[in-house]
Structure 1
Amino acid sequence: MIERYTRPEMGHLWSIQNEWQTILNVEIAACEAMAELGEIPAAAVENIKAKAQFDVARINEIEKTTDHDIIAFLTNLEENIGEDSKYIHKGLTSSDVKDTAYCVMMRDAAAIILDDLQEFRTVLRRRANEFRHTPCIGRTHGIHAEPMTFGLKLLLWSAEIERDIERLEHAKKIVSVGKLSGAVGTYSNINPRIEELTCKHLGLTPVRLATQVIQRARHAEFVTTLAIIASTLEKIATEIRNLQRTDIREAEEFFKA
């Protein structure tokens, strides 16, 4: 992401450091679920939680040998945890932790965007009321048509943002799932209850069915929703830009506050 245009919280969320941290959170949540079911010692989980640290540079170094990012990650954890690291990733496949972690990250990203959209909607409603009696020319195909109010224009934008909020809330629900069912989704080496408990701890819902991965139609729906939201914002931004043209000057915004 381009730093100038990246929100600090969004930049942190999608950083490599946080990606590995989220994967670690999934691994630890799975260990806690196994301990709760009596499959691994509770003391081992406490030791794992106390010592589980990783270094991105070290992971990258190990991956040059392993040619596998998760194996490199687990190797780095083993270096720091010791004997109890054998309980990490027990019965899991790489996509169990990676796909689940990415769903956590998409859900959290959606929450950030939803907060912003709701604030934007509030501002648009307030400004629409402020300009409810302010006349302006309505245009069709860029040509003068009939008089309208500037407040109506803002209210239309508010209504579009409202629909975008509904879309994103749905998309957020679609990606708020987790999967810990093994290499082909058959739970051959893991108790399905571990998936259930792990997802509960992470605030996710166990995906109904999976193969090695969570099906990508969920990701596609999420990204498509983001594209629709972006198109709404682009339309609003372009209209404001056009209204500031020298020969129109119906709107004005400052470059910096």
Structure 2
Amino acid sequence: MASTVIDSNVFGALFSTDEMRAVFSDTNLVQKWLDTEAALVKAQGELGIIPKEIADDINAYADATKLNIPEIGEFYKSSITIVPLLKAFKEILPDNAGEFVHWGATSQDIVDTGLILQMKEAYEIILRDMKLCQRHVLRLVKEYRDTVMCGRTHVIHALPITLGYKVAVWADELGRDIERLEELKKRVFMGQMAGAVGTLASQPEKGLETQTRMMEILDLEQPAIAWHVARDGQAEFAGALAICAGTLGRIAHEILSLQRTEILELEEPFFMGKVGSSTMPHKRNPQVLENIIAVCRSVRTIAPGIAEAMICENERDWGCLSTEWESIPRACLLLAAGLEKSKDVLEHLIVYPKHMEQNLYKLRGLMMSECIMMHLAPRLGRMTAHSIVYRTCMKAYEEEAQMKDALLAEPEVREAFTEAEIDYMLDPHNYLGLATTFADRVLEKYAK
């Protein structure tokens, strides 16, 4: 029975994906613990620490579907060590093989490594989907490289840009997020096999050889020293997810803002049958975008808690681990939903170039004030030019007049420019700066 929206049969599709739920399912959690124990005994069997045939038997039975997982959960009512798993595993192993499981390890070695294996599996999904989001955005950069629209600062029309330029900023930010994800692999996906206080005292002869081979089997980095209480890797991982969620949330919020009825330059994908309101049939609400914003907000709130969990005591402290067990899976599960929906929005984004063109003239030419000022400045000086254009703009704004008429009413402007020159300066298409050049630079940067 589901008790959270993530696992809900009703709300589940809004808060995660089946693919990510499988990564953090009880079965996969137990399987990752078994994979860790199996890698340990395999390494020990190869090194002659335990009989190799026993190690082979243990590996053959290391299958979570063979265990009674609810029974393991019952044991956890009185224990938070790995003992409940060991009891259940021993019951299905032949002969006395169970006596050789967990040889020289401590519970946290298995639990930490199991979580890292789950994080790594989740990471591959997240990285894949971040790259797909960027691919869809790069297509938009190319397709709308020259589509002129209003640039806005502080929610007010500022200067003209192109849609290609706007989404190129998204593409480059996604690229940096992907770069961060790729760089953290060597620091975060590191296994743990160190014994009670991290000194491998239980395996004095071949402890390091066991650790090396075990990490090779699991395809994890080998630590230079135990990290039982050094939780910076988990904090970095949660922080990277929070940054990814920040990017996705910002993009979704920008599209939502531009879907307003009064603007309607962009719109999330629509299909017949998608209902926006139970009472207002006309509504095409940005409900998917709102969902992305919500789950990404939740992902960002998780990162501070994982950073707080870095404060561990002495050589081991289960208090910090419990935070990670609850929070890291939740961050991955929620981000999976944000990514799943972002992929669809960015692939099938509805663009309204005609509305962008119409909106360029909503301020009746005032948006081109900088252009006018920069043309006046060489003749009159910058501050004088600013004063004249400011006075002209404020008058036109309050009277809701055309900027051209207001400019022609200014003697200094009439003396400096012909009417044709004023028309040219007031055309938004003539003042794009290097918008298309920057879009091209981003396309070139990520060309493959």
TM class by shorter-chain length? over 0.9
CA distance in 2, matches of 1:60, 1:146: 61
Structure 1 equivalent of residue 106 of structure 2: 93
Q: Does 1:22 align with 2:32?
A: yes
Distance in structure 1 (CA, Å) of the matches to 2:230 and 2:115: 13
Task: Give the equivalent residue in structure 1 for 2:175.
Answer: 162
CA shift for structure 1 position 214:
5.6
Following TM superposition, by how much is the alpha carbon of 1:224 offset from its aligned partner in structure 2, in angstroms? 0.6
Deviations 1:35-77 (A, max 9, x none): 000111121122222334322111122334x524411110001
Query: 1:194 is matched with which residue: 202, 207, 210?
Result: 210
Q: CA deviation at 1:118?
A: 1.1
Q: Secondary structure at the match of 1:178?
A: coil
**Matching residue of 1:222:** 237
The superposition leaves residues 110-138 of structure 1 with CA deviations (integer Å, 9 ceiling, x where unpaired) of 11111111111111111111001111100
One-letter code aligned to 1:135: V
The amino acid that maps onto 2:67 is F
- Is the aligned partner of 1:6 residue 2:16? yes
Partner of 1:131: 144
SS at match of 1:146: strand
Alignment-mate amino acid for residue 24 of structure 1: L
Partners of 2:39 and 2:217 within 8 A in 1: yes
State how far apart, in whole Å, the 1-side matches of 2:60 and 2:237 are. 35
Aligned 1:60-209 pairs, distance under 5 A: 60-64=73-77, 66-82=78-94, 83-190=96-203, 191-209=207-225
Question: How far has the Cα of 1:7 moved from its partner?
Answer: 2.1
Q: Are 2:260 and 1:249 aligned?
A: no
| Partner residue in 1 for 2:53 | 43
1:181 maps to amino acid: A
In structure 1, list runs of 5 or more residues that go unmatched. none
1:218 offset after TM fit, Å? 1.0
Write the distance in 2 (CA, Å) between the matches of 1:187 and 1:219.
23
Q: Which structure 2 residue ranges, 5 or more long, are not aligned?
A: 1-5, 272-347, 349-448
Query: Could you report, residue by residue, the CA deviation over 1:136-179 in whole angstroms, capped at 9, with x for unpaired residues?
Result: 10000000011110111111100000000011112232211011
Counterpart contact for 2:42–2:59, Cα < 8 Å: no
Q: Contact 2:193 / 2:226 at 8 angstroms: preserved in 1? A: no
Name 2:250's counterpart in structure 1.
Answer: 235
C-alpha distance in structure 1 between counterparts of 2:57 and 2:235, whole Å: 39
Q: Could you state the TM-score of these two structures normalised by the residue count of structure 1?
A: 0.94
Identity of aligned residues (%): 37
> What's the Cα RMSD here?
1.5
Is the CA contact (8 Å cut-off) linking 1:99 and 1:214 kept in structure 2? no
The superposition leaves residues 209-256 of structure 1 with CA deviations (integer Å, 9 ceiling, x where unpaired) of 125x16211110110111011011000000001111100000122245
CA distance in 1: counterparts of 2:232 and 2:239, whole angstroms: 10
Distance 2:118 2:238 in 1: 13
Q: Please give the alpha-carbon distance, in whole angstroms, between the structure 2 residues aligned to 1:45 and 1:255.
A: 56
Letter of the structure 2 residue corresponding to residue 90 of structure 1: W
TM-score in terms of structure 2 length: 0.55
Partner residue, 2:71: 58
User: Does the 8 Å CA contact 1:179/1:214 hold for their aligned counterparts?
Assistant: no
Q: Distance in 1 between matches of 2:101 and 2:86?
A: 8
C-alpha distance in 1, partners of 2:270/2:40?
Answer: 49
What does residue 210 of structure 1 align with? Answer: 226
Q: Which segment is superposed worse, 99-108 or 145-154?
A: 99-108
Q: Which amino acid aligns with 2:210?
A: I
**Residue pair 2:117, 2:189 contacting (<8 A) in 1 also:** yes
Q: Alpha-carbon deviation of 1:85?
A: 0.7
Q: Confirm or deny: 8 A CA contact 1:96 1:180 kept in the other structure.
A: yes
Question: Is the contact made by 1:137 and 1:146 (CA closer than 8 Å) also made in structure 2?
Answer: yes
| Partner Cα separation in structure 1 for residue 75 and residue 242 of structure 2 | 37
| SS of residue paired to 2:266 | coil
